[in-house]
Structure 1
Amino acid sequence: MKFRVERDVLAEAVTWTARTLPTRPPAPVLAGVRIEADASGTIVLASFDYEVSARSEIAAEVAEPGTVLVSGRLLAEISRALPNKPVDVSVEGNKVVLTCGASRFTLLTMPVEEYPTLPTLPELTGTVSGDALTHAVAQVSVAASRDDTLPLLTGVRVEIEGERITLLATDRYRLALRELTWTPATPGYSTVALVRARTLNDVAKSLGSGGGLVNIGLSTGEGLDLIGFEAGGRQTTSQLVDGDYPAVRRLFPDATPIHAVVPTQALIDAAKRVSLVAERNTPIRLAFSEGQVVLDAGQGDDAQASEALEAVLVGEDIQVAFNPQFLLDGLGALGTDFVRLSFTHPNKPVEFTGQGSLDGEDSSEYRYLLVPIRFSS
């Protein structure tokens, strides 16, 4: 195998392909990136850990086609460190040689014949705006659990009904829901899938940030349940999470007799300041009354802080307490000038929605439900 490629093109492709490589691979070859040079002038880089696969295609001057497997992380570090000149890659015996200007690196190859076959990208199910996907996944994934002992809750539930996709995630303490539109390949298409939040977030950032369209393929009920994403010459597949996701939609209240509207950024800034005195696992309290909300944290002989903000309150005065980080996660995900907090009871989950003006209507496109912390008054 022998080819020449631009340094930036190689570095970007290797870094993207190697980003999901496991730190402790179940088999040594899974720490590698497979490089396949085709006589047509195409280089295909691939990685796979039995759950998530990645493929990236780049153009190069191929003198000799071939396939080789090398350490992915090391190749990524080397390619990023090379001078800004064309890179010549060749195989000499059981080694891969990278030459770039006056720099020369030699890497040992790994047994490519032991590398598993990558899963095939599922048939196209539909397309979605990359920007919309990136934004929606970021909003929802904040609520997904990081606890791997509860694998179901580390996923994002993807519900597809015709031209609408609904994303749902929960860690039992908060729940996020986001709706967006897409173009299904088959009109009236309907399905449900559970995708690892970490994988979905990574894919949305890396494939959706280009601003173009992202192709999505789903394969369910055929032995290996997969979701695949493709954009700009890059492909990722991931096994779906198996199991029945809890019926979380019913947690959203049908009616909320009390609601308050507060400028989002002002509430974020105040919450950050007040939470400085909140020790680990202690709440930040919000007391809503006519015309204002007072935030406070700390008590007794400990450090204390409080701050008042203007707010519009509809209904009775109410006090709630939240985990500061969970509160900030929800506020930060809204992306609107104002936030509406809708209440049913001080100890019942509070729904956060965004709105464009102080006296406008809220949007149900993104909904964040947060369980308050009980506190003694």
Structure 2
Amino acid sequence: MKFRVERDVLADAVTWTARTLPTRPPAPVLAGVRIAADAQGVINLASFDYETSARSEIPAEVAEPGTVLVSGRLLAEISRALPNKPVDVALEGNKVIVTCGASRFTLLTMPVDEYPALPGLPEVSGTVSGDAFTHAVTQVTVAASRDDTLPLLTGVRVEIEGERITLLSTDRYRLALRELTWTPATPGFSAVALIRARTLNDVAKSLGSGGLVNLGLSTGQGLDLVGFEAGGRQTTSQLVEGDYPAVRRLFPDSTPIHAVVATAPLIEAAKRVSLVAERNTPIRLAFSEGQVVLDAGHGDDAQASEALEAVLVGEDIAVAFNPQFLLDGLGALGTDFVRLSFTHPNKPVEFTGQGSLDGEDDSSYRYLLVPIRFTG
């Protein structure tokens, strides 16, 4: 195998392909990136850990076709460190020689015949705007659990019905729901899948920068997979098994009280006030006509308070939240104003966005946060 490729093209492709490599691979070969050069001047890079696969395709001047397997993380570090000149890659015996300007690196190869076969990309189920997909995933994954002992809750439930996709996630303390439109490959397409939040986040960041993302689902055929493809890059991931809890019913049917506050000032005030909130202590929001007062700390501890303008519809109400969970929800909204809808001081509070102080709220994104009980 022997080829020449542009340094930036190689570095981007290797870094992207190697990004999901396991830190403790169950087999040594799974720490590798497979590089296949064909006679048509195309280099295919691939990685796989039995759960997630990644493939990328780049153009190159191929002198000798061939396939090798080398350490993915090492190749990624080397390719990023190379000078900005064309890179020559050649197989010599059981070593791969990487030459770029005056730099020369030698990498040992791994047994490519021991590398597992990668799963095929599922048939395309539909197409979604990359920007809209990235934004939606970012909004929803903030509420997914990071606790691997609860694998179901580390996933995002994806419900597809015709031209509408609904994303749902929860960690038991908050719940996020986001609806967006897409173009299904067949009219009336319907499916439900549970996809790892970290996989969705990674795909959204790496494939969603403009353009369109193809999404494919393969279920009920032995291996349940989701696949994404955009810009010459493909990734697949096994779906999470199990029945996701029926979380939609947690959203209240009606809310007799709601308040509207400018989002950015509320975020800044919450950050300031939460400076005195020690670990696992809440920040309190007290709503009354024309204002909301944020405060944290009590007794002999450090204390802080700040008042902001707010519109309140209904009777006065006070709630307390985990400061980080509050900031996560506010930051995910992406709107100038936030509407907080209440049923009771100790019942979950629904956050939705508004474009203006007296406008209608946008229910395409809903963030439900469980308050912390407080006394005094």
TM value normalised by structure 1: 1.00
- Partners of 1:119 and 1:42 in 2: CA distance: 20
Q: What displacement does 1:246 show? A: 0.1
- Partners of 1:168 and 1:245 in 2: CA distance: 10
Q: Which residue in the other structure is 1:116 paired with? A: 116
- Partners of 1:26 and 1:274 in 2: CA distance: 46
State the SS of the aligned residue for 1:301.
coil
- Partners of 1:298 and 1:96 in 2: CA distance: 61
Q: Which residue in the other structure is 1:13 paired with? A: 13
State the SS of the aligned residue for 2:45.
strand
Q: Which residue in the other structure is 1:324 paired with? A: 323
Q: Which residue in the other structure is 1:270 paired with? A: 269
- Partners of 1:86 and 1:315 in 2: CA distance: 67
- Partners of 1:200 and 1:25 in 2: CA distance: 21
- Partners of 1:373 and 1:116 in 2: CA distance: 49
Q: What displacement does 1:235 show? A: 0.1
Q: Which residue in the other structure is 1:162 paired with? A: 162
Q: What displacement does 1:137 show? A: 0.1
Per-residue CA distance 1:304-346 (angstroms, 9 max, x = gap): 0000000000000000000000000000000000000000000
Query: What are the within-5 Å matches in structure 2 for residues 354-369 of structure 1?
Result: 354-369=353-368
Q: Which residue in the other structure is 1:221 paired with? A: 220
Per-residue CA distance 1:55-100 (angstroms, 9 max, x = gap): 0000000000000000000000000000000000000111000000
- Partners of 2:30 and 2:348 in 1: CA distance: 44
Q: Which residue in the other structure is 1:289 paired with? A: 288
State the SS of the aligned residue for 1:50.
coil
- Partners of 1:39 and 1:107 in 2: CA distance: 23
Q: Which residue in the other structure is 2:260 paired with? A: 261
- Partners of 1:195 and 1:12 in 2: CA distance: 25
Q: Which residue in the other structure is 2:72 paired with? A: 72
Q: What displacement does 1:263 show? A: 0.1
Q: What displacement does 1:116 show? A: 0.5
- Partners of 1:267 and 1:29 in 2: CA distance: 50
Q: What displacement does 1:9 show? A: 0.2
State the SS of the aligned residue for 1:47.
strand
Q: Which residue in the other structure is 1:148 paired with? A: 148
State the SS of the aligned residue for 2:15.
helix
Q: Which residue in the other structure is 1:173 paired with? A: 173
Aligned-residue identity in percent: 90
Structure 2: unaligned runs, 5 residues or longer: none
Q: Which residue in the other structure is 1:305 paired with? A: 304
Q: Which residue in the other structure is 2:314 paired with? A: 315
- Partners of 2:203 and 2:115 in 1: CA distance: 23
Q: Which residue in the other structure is 2:338 paired with? A: 339
State the SS of the aligned residue for 1:153.
helix
Q: Which residue in the other structure is 1:182 paired with? A: 182
- Partners of 2:303 and 2:21 in 1: CA distance: 45
- Partners of 1:48 and 1:239 in 2: CA distance: 12
Q: What displacement does 1:132 show? A: 0.2
**Match for 2:98: what amino acid?**
L
Q: What displacement does 1:301 show? A: 0.6
State the SS of the aligned residue for 2:202.
helix
1:85 maps to 2:85: yes
Q: Which residue in the other structure is 1:201 paired with? A: 201
State the SS of the aligned residue for 1:271.
helix
Q: Which residue in the other structure is 2:250 paired with? A: 251
Q: Which residue in the other structure is 1:239 paired with? A: 238
Per-residue CA distance 1:149-177 (angstroms, 9 max, x = gap): 00000000000000000000000000000
State the SS of the aligned residue for 1:246.
coil
Q: What displacement does 1:366 show? A: 0.2
- Partners of 1:8 and 1:191 in 2: CA distance: 39
**Match for 1:59: what amino acid?**
P
**Match for 1:343: what amino acid?**
F
- Partners of 2:27 and 2:247 in 1: CA distance: 38
TM value normalised by structure 2: 1.00
- Partners of 1:25 and 1:278 in 2: CA distance: 40
Per-residue CA distance 1:207-260 (angstroms, 9 max, x = gap): 001x10000000000000000000000000000000000000000000000000
- Partners of 1:270 and 1:376 in 2: CA distance: 22
The alignment covers a number of residue pairs equal to 376
- Stretches of 4+ moved more than 6 A in 1? none
1:100 maps to 2:80: no
